[in-house]
Structure 1
């Protein structure tokens, strides 16, 4: 029972719950093993892991508990990875200060007087300010999309000294000359058609030029001349810098996601075994779990295809943070409600089950 084969079998048997008869299983496996074997076969290992994890779930008569466990494990692991990446974003280099930003913009767009350049107050902001208790209601009640990666930059107002296209062409040339990677420009209509008739060629447009150098990205946006209508005091050019995804995000996401998935599976399996039989909160716990899955999966299934399409449709020097792919924090209220249901379900699962009274038998005299 202390040889290398026994030790390796014992590690695999940790997949079974503690109350399972691991020693009896180990003895059976060792008796069935041929002489000289020092490690389990791949088939044996896969079977022990699969049956051990299934045994942790309990409910041997259920045909769906395995599927629910997979759903809970996946979504919990994904959310844990998103939280881990948010922590890893704290390792990002601070944005350029206002003075440095002015110097960089003067090099890229000479002759343009940018205004409104201020230091970034935090790595992520909501309505231009760091997240605080005063803005939690904005985050949860519909304005979560305003929580985004901070940027530092400014705008140009007044009468254009050159056409927007000329300004973008000059910026592209100077960016390439100073070591930036420049992406294809993205053109958007500034307003929708009011008609009919509607001629898309006459609609004013906004063109965004994206570039990257090292861990810094630049976005320059210029409005078409048609959108200005000869108005003197108008904003026709803007530019902003952001940081790219720091390298620590990727290992944090992997480690956090795996840890979250393991914890979620263990909690789910524990609650599943606890609430079998005559548990007083069995149906309440089941209902709370289903509510949690709806509130966590629904925003994710909506946000992931949208984010994929957005990234395929436009160039992105740096991908969006992971939580935005999950519909967060736009749907953060869904996550909070689902998390509350999950915590309540775990607490109710911990309630003691009623004791089964046994009638003592008396031997005949």
Structure 2
């Protein structure tokens, strides 16, 4: 066998770490000797095909159950969903690197750009990027969030508005806002108009058409939405602005990195539990049921939310995509995720129960 200092041997040993420890202890030296004996003279690195085969076979070996035709598919489902949730968590953490939401001074400046010579009648400045009913999440609100009201956990924004009788016709107000925004360096994205009927009196004996014209613009890391109401109520805003932050640059690499690590962890944990329970394990049947429950509760919200959000994005203009966790049905279906997590932890705990010595030896021999 090549000495430990041989660079090719060291690199082969790194690749052999894809196999379970027990498998390496029993067959690792034999596999390494075979790989080195078949390597051409002067080779210092494993060939690409060799590396891919060792990684693929090693990760398959971690699942145990060599006669099973479905274990790889189940492991893939577990790894993918773990990767998605890990990516969503990493993205949410990376959102904390964004600039703070615009304060009153910056909001007032933008408002005067949109509506010259007019101070806003009101300004709201949230203290967090994502809030529950625009407020920071608290333990007191946790029960409502888990019990079907999780959709109210959304990206927050700084708002300002002007109430009272409009100073000019809505068409003129929109035109002036567009011109002044361009002059101030804003990039105009979309202008949309949505017309609906509104009651003309308290009894709703007659209706009047009301048009809400929306102007989306962006500048740097700030998104601006201007909304003009063609027929406002006496004390309701006829013009409002909303300021949000764009997705921070760190969110995408954080989500990719977190997703890959989460997917790998999901595969390894599933493989460990699979090997632990492949012989006559006392909780084998229960662990399999708990695993099925976990996958059902984690995947079901994803399968419901992805088509719904895709349709939502096609039907309405969006300056930026909804965050990843909403595509996974979170926190709207957070109760599903919580119960699934409890099921997964219980299954892992049961998989640690001791097995008979004969079964343990058999498992080690099969990898």
How many residues align? The count is 346
- What secondary structure is seen at the aligned counterpart in 1 of 2:124? coil
Q: Which residue of 1 aligns with 2:295?
A: 293
Q: Which residue of 1 aligns with 2:16?
A: 13
Instruction: Give 1:281 deviation, angstroms.
Output: 1.2
- What secondary structure is seen at the aligned counterpart in 2 of 1:184? strand
1:61/1:139 CA distance change after superposition, 3 Å = same
1:60/1:191 CA distance change after superposition, 3 Å = farther
- What secondary structure is seen at the aligned counterpart in 1 of 2:318? coil
Q: Which residue of 1 aligns with 2:354?
A: 352
- Rounded to whole Å, the distance in 1 between the matches of 2:149 and 2:187 is 33
- Rounded to whole Å, the distance in 1 between the matches of 2:349 and 2:287 is 9
- Rounded to whole Å, the distance in 2 between the matches of 1:351 and 1:169 is 71
What runs of 5+ residues in structure 2 fail to find an aligned partner?
199-207, 360-367
RMSD, aligned α-carbons: 2.2
1:6/1:355 CA distance change after superposition, 3 Å = closer
- Rounded to whole Å, the distance in 1 between the matches of 2:151 and 2:284 is 37
Residues 242-295 of structure 1: CA deviation (Å, up to 9, x unaligned) = 111111212211221111111111111101100111111111111111111111
- Rounded to whole Å, the distance in 2 between the matches of 1:338 and 1:203 is 48
Say if 1:183 and 1:315, in contact at 8 Å, map to a contact too: no
Q: Which residue of 1 aligns with 2:222?
A: 216
Residues 176-230 of structure 1: CA deviation (Å, up to 9, x unaligned) = 11111111223335469xxxxxxxxx753322211110011111122233xx4xx
- What secondary structure is seen at the aligned counterpart in 1 of 2:137? coil
Q: Which residue of 2 aligns with 1:307?
A: 309
Q: Which residue of 1 aligns with 2:201?
A: none
My pick for the range that moved more, 10-19 or 161-170, is 161-170
1:59/1:208 CA distance change after superposition, 3 Å = same
Say if 1:9 and 1:40, in contact at 8 Å, map to a contact too: yes
Say if 2:113 and 2:177, in contact at 8 Å, map to a contact too: no
- What secondary structure is seen at the aligned counterpart in 1 of 2:90? helix
- Rounded to whole Å, the distance in 2 between the matches of 1:39 and 1:154 is 62
- Rounded to whole Å, the distance in 2 between the matches of 1:137 and 1:251 is 32
Q: TM-score, normalised by structure 1?
A: 0.88
- Rounded to whole Å, the distance in 2 between the matches of 1:162 and 1:60 is 76
Which runs of structure 2 are paired with 1:85-164 in the superposition (5 Å)? 85-164=91-170
- Residue in structure 1 matching 2:7, options 4, 9, 20: 4
Say if 1:159 and 1:234, in contact at 8 Å, map to a contact too: no
Instruction: Give 1:314 deviation, angstroms.
Output: 4.1
1:119/1:266 CA distance change after superposition, 3 Å = same
Instruction: Give 1:51 deviation, angstroms.
Output: 1.1
Q: TM-score, normalised by structure 2?
A: 0.88
Q: Which residue of 1 aligns with 2:323?
A: 321
- What secondary structure is seen at the aligned counterpart in 2 of 1:142? helix
- Rounded to whole Å, the distance in 1 between the matches of 2:170 and 2:297 is 45
Instruction: Give 1:356 deviation, angstroms.
Output: 4.3
Which runs of structure 2 are paired with 1:168-247 in the superposition (5 Å)? 168-190=174-196, 203-225=209-231, 228=232, 231-247=233-249
What runs of 5+ residues in structure 1 fail to find an aligned partner?
193-201, 358-365
Say if 1:186 and 1:314, in contact at 8 Å, map to a contact too: no
Instruction: Give 1:175 deviation, angstroms.
Output: 0.9
- What secondary structure is seen at the aligned counterpart in 2 of 1:57? coil
Instruction: Give 1:312 deviation, angstroms.
Output: 4.2
Q: Which residue of 1 aligns with 2:363?
A: none
- Rounded to whole Å, the distance in 2 between the matches of 1:167 and 1:356 is 82
